[in-house]
Chain A
Amino acid sequence: MAKTSKVSAKKSATSKSTSKSKASSKSPAVNGDQLIAYYRDMLNIRRFEEKAGQLYGMGLIGGFCHLYIGQEAVVVGMTQAGTDDDSVITSYRDHGHMLACGMDPKGVMAELTGRRGGYSKGKGGSMHMFSREKKFFGGHGIVGAQIPLGTGLAFAHKYKGDNGVCHAYMGDGAVNQGQIYESFNMAALWDLPVVYVIENNKYGMGTSIERASSNVELSERGNAHDIPGQSVNGMDVLDVVEKGGAALEHARSGKGPMILEMKTYRYRGHSMSDPAKYRSKEEVQKMRKESDPIDNLRHTILEGGFATEDQLKDIDKEIKSIVTAAAEYAQQSPEPDESELYTDILKEA
């Protein structure tokens, strides 16, 4: 097993890829078990998304499919910095968020293939999955709409007094929707426990942030509402854990919302049918080579002696088998029964 660093582990996070181990946000001395947990969770998302891309190419996944590859550190870091009381909501680039929350890769992949074993019984698809158990509230297809909804989750946390904070994710494209600022205003006005996580991957579909936003410093978007903001290296899971932890603490302690701008990058297209003519191959390759969150953490782990090359290879293998099993399940699970066409429209009063 991996060596632990000076700090002894609170609990072993290596036993389960999706466990939420609470990071010590204030201490820069992370322990090896935590590093390996981050690595495992990020790799789980990366491999899952690669497999989803393959299945899409094979025609097994239809419609829209937005891959999270490149941005893994954001959601893994935030989730690790959060607690089980927290709720999560995001847009349609949502597979990573579901896996980070601990949702079953089989159920997620089977939803992508539109099968009855999917989280929404095949009726939601890539953009519409939920898990009440894991407090994951979607998966929303309309750009920006998840932010008032997430603000409502925060309202409910406060109303119930359950100590939860809502992690409300949006992309850099969403920050120009008017409803974002309606939400910021109410969250600040009522001190709602919410952290707005802006995943700035530089492009809203094919339009670069510079071509869409008059002010590209997205952490400042809460200025008009006195919401503190911070810029985070979204390609570095440790930076995300540290600053995410502080922001969550701020919100949890009753001080109101915070905004985190995660500077990140998606390697793949906006969706599967993206010809990628709006950016150069060199730009993508440079990010992959120099800033990859998984490669860099791998390096840190090996350099710090937290694990050996072989131990990491074992994790790679384990993840590969989890993803392969998910893909198999997603192909074997039958399509929903035809009677499902008419169910789940209204609940029985």
Chain B
Amino acid sequence: MATQVLMPALSPTMTEGKIAKWMKSEGDTVESGDVLCEIETDKATMEVEAVDEGKLGKILVAEGTEGVAVNTPIAVLLEEGEDANAIDAASSGGSAVAEAKPAEEPAAASYEEASAPARPKAAEIAPEPDYDGPTKTQTVREALCDAMSEEMRKDDTVFLMGEEVAEYQGAYKISQGMLAEFGEKRVIDTPITEIGFTGLGVGAAFYGLRPIVEYMTFNFAMQAVDHIINSAAKTLYMSGGQMGCPIVFRGANGAAARVGAQHSQCYASWYANCPGLAVVAPWSAADAKGLLKSAIRNPNPVIFLENEILYGQSFEVPDTEDFTLPIGKAKIELKGADVTIVAYSIAVGIAMDAAQQLAEQGIDAEVINLRTIRPMDTATIIESVKKTNRLVSVGEGWPTCGIGSEVSAVAMEQAFDYLDAPPVRVAGEDVPMPYAANLEKLALPKAKHVIEAVKSVCYS
């Protein structure tokens, strides 16, 4: 059966090309792999190899012809024993053409008309269950350790790995006592090899384990960001839902104290930018415990942003192993009527401090602890703004394209008519973190900045 040789697409962007030169003449025998002709594409001159064997029956497009569209028949290949009659049949669109029929709708053509279907509403997240049982006073550090230990007792597939997590008991002593309880199979000291052990953790999660990967600080996770984004976050989608990566990446995030620019960065907005991740940033010890337990049980990759300064701070924590907090729900830490202050991580404490001082000055602030950065609980923010009509965001990260920018955008888009003043962002200064004590202080947001911002949106 004679086959048409079609003008091939030789690059992702090629729509037409020039037949630069025929390397075979009519009547030549062609073997699979032989170069038939040279084609100039939008990128380069490429050789076109024969896929089938046979005899070159007829050249349909002469060399030197420009603008030959992809899928135009350019020659006819004859099988053994076929003659010229077959050429006519093939070049007039004979039976062989069916196989070479181009796609009915070229992919590139339809982009402009294409409009995405409505995004389905996210599933309703159950609110935090009411708890009126006993509590105990714990540091954030202890709460994190309890969360991991409780989940590891329940589920054999959960394990902890990272630098200094086992024998050293954690660089910040989060995993104190865990090696003794769970042994070296499940509490694993890694070499200093962030991209390696992050990728290893993701691979183990693909195979059904539930790793907790500790970064000594999130600054070091930059070494591993390819595996967090490309391997962990995207694989569920790229596999059409077949895979899945139940893994927690946790560690200290944001500024510590006097450790300089490379060890003092908030990564919230980096990870929050990427679909396929959940990003959690607890403030209190109860947040830390309830959210980490939920993160470990979550079937998705969860970025769990802790804060070194908070590790030693104490809070009341529900005294039960069943305590978890929903990922994706914010908490109103303080009810108020005059202004909404949205904060996350250590900035919640700053916001609470500011709110107290504002109360003394007669301004009744509502403080929202985001708890989860992605998916952000926008409903709680919007509801609050509709009530207070004023919005201030507080976070330690840089202002540009930061979490505060996102909070402002959400308010503008969804509650513009309710706003009595433009939202204001209180953020870290737009500079690498300085080492000098006085400069470092200047670079970080404080209660007085929040108070100033609140006063500006309240025009008071």
Contact = CB atoms under 8 A, between A and B. Distances in A.
A331 B103 CA distance: 8
Interface stretch (A14-22, A228-236, A272-280): A272-280
Contacts of A274: 46
B185 interface: yes
18 contacts: A58-B103, A60-B102, A60-B103, A114-B107, A119-B242, A123-B239, A124-B240, A130-B239, A131-B242, A148-B203, A149-B200, A149-B206, A153-B204, A156-B203, A156-B209, A178-B195, A179-B199, A347-B300
Given A53-B51, A120-B240, A182 B278 contact: no
B196 interface: yes
Interface string B31-56: 01101000001011111000100000
Interface string A321-349: 00000010001000000110111111111
Given A57-B10, A182-B195, A155 B200 contact: yes
Interface string B289-309: 000001001111000000000
B398 interface: no
Nearest to B46: A275
Contacts of B119: 342
Contact of A182 (B106, B107, B193, B276): B193
B236 to A, nearest CB: 5
The 5 A-B residue pairs with the shortest CB-CB distance in the complex, in nearest-first order:
A152-B203, A148-B199, A182-B196, A57-B8, A121-B240
The CB with the most chain A CB atoms within 10 A, among B14, B119, B240, is that of: B240
Contacts of B195: 148, 178-179, 182
Contact of B297 (A148, A149, A349): A349
Given A128-B238, A142-B230, A186-B197, A347 B204 contact: no
Contact of B239 (A89, A120, A151): A120
Nearest to B205: A152
B11 to A, nearest CB: 3
A202 interface: no
A185 B11 contact: no
A168 to B, nearest CB: 9
Given A149-B206, A185-B193, A346-B236, 14 more contacts: A50-B32, A53-B51, A58-B102, A58-B103, A87-B207, A120-B242, A123-B237, A123-B240, A125-B238, A128-B239, A156-B203, A179-B199, A186-B196, A348-B123
B120 interface: yes
Contacts of B240: 118-124, 344
Contact of B106 (A59, A123, A151, A345): A59
A62 B107 CA distance: 8
A186 B123 contact: no
Contacts of B231: 140, 142, 145, 149
A156 B204 contact: yes
Contacts of A160: 207-209
A189 B191 CA distance: 9
Given A156-B204, A179-B199, A145 B51 contact: no
Nearest to A327: B99
Interface centre among B45, B117, B242 (most CB of A within 10 A): B242
A178 B191 CA distance: 14
Nearest to B70: A59
B451 interface: no
Nearest to B10: A273
Interface string B194-233: 0111111111111111000000000000000011001100
A180 B434 CA distance: 35
A32 interface: no
Interface of B: 6, 8-12, 14, 32-33, 35, 41, 43-47, 51, 70-71, 99-103, 106-107, 116-117, 119-120, 123, 159, 185, 190-191, 193, 195-209, 226-227, 230-231, 235-244, 275-276, 278, 294, 297-300, 327
A159 B155 CA distance: 13
B67 to A, nearest CB: 16
Size category, A interface:
35 or more
A59 B71 contact: yes
A183 B47 contact: no
Contact of B116 (A145, A157, A341, A345): A341
Nearest to A343: B241
A346 B297 CA distance: 14
Given A58-B100, A59-B102, A149 B107 contact: no
A145 B8 contact: no
A189 B161 CA distance: 14
A125 B11 CA distance: 16
A316 B244 CA distance: 38
Contact of B6 (A57, A140, A145): A57
A349 B327 contact: yes
Given A123-B238, A148-B199, A63 B12 contact: yes
A140 B226 CA distance: 12
B420 to A, nearest CB: 35
A265 to B, nearest CB: 13
Given A119-B240, A120-B238, A153 B207 contact: yes
A273 B11 contact: yes
A129 B196 CA distance: 23
Nearest to B199: A148
A82 B376 CA distance: 46
Given A122-B240, A123-B237, A345-B237, A57 B9 contact: yes
B33 A267 contact: yes
A285 B231 CA distance: 38
A222 interface: no
A327 B316 CA distance: 63
Contacts of A125: 238
A124 B6 contact: no
Contact of A275 (B45, B99, B193): B45
Contact of A89 (B99, B203, B278): B203
A223 interface: no
A149 B231 CA distance: 8
Nearest to A46: B32
A138 interface: yes
A188 B278 CA distance: 33
A277 B44 CA distance: 10
Contacts of A349: 294, 297-300, 327
Contact of B191 (A141, A153, A159, A185): A185
Contact of B243 (A132, A343, A346): A132
B12 A145 contact: no
Contacts of A156: 203-204, 206-209
A56 B9 contact: yes
A211 interface: no
Contacts of B190: 186
A295 B327 CA distance: 58
